[in-house]
């Protein structure tokens, strides 16, 4: 049973219990519906095309920089979805 299905089942069995905060990764039809229904608290969505492009660029840069410096950080923007913005 998946996390969303288990949370839906728990909410149905225990309607008076406060919901558990659940944050999922990537906005899909299932996570969008769970946000709207109040099952999920938030969804964090990363742009995989940007992750891939920046990762490859960092590897190419590391190969060209023949020094033993500290590895850098790569910041990738993300989208945060809650029930109010889906």
Encode pLDDT of 25-63 as tens digits: 999 999 999 999 999 999 999 988 999 999 898 888 888
Number of domains in the chain: 1
What's the pTM value of the predicted model, to 2 decimals?
0.74
User: Domain range spanning residue 50?
Assistant: 3-85
Structure tokens at 59: 């590897």
pLDDT class for 70, splitting at 50, 70, 90? low
The pLDDT tens digits for 13-26 are 998 988 889 999 99
In this prediction, residue 28 carries a pLDDT of 94
Q: Which residues contact 46 (CB under 8 A, 6 or more apart)?
A: 25, 26, 76, 78, 79
Is the CB of residue 59 less than 8 Å from the CB of residue 18? no
């Amino acid at each position: 049973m998946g996390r969303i299905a288990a949370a839906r089942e728990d909410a149905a069995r225990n309607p008076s219990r406060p919901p558990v905060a659940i944050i999922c990764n990537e906005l899909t039809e299932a996570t969008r519906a769970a946000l709207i229904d109040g099952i999920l608290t938030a969804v964090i969505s990363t742009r995989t095309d940007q992750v891939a492009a920046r990762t490859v660029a960092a590897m190419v840069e590391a190969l060209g920089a023949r020094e033993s410096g500290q590895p850098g950080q790569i910041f990738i923007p993300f989208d945060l979805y809650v029930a109010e913005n889906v």
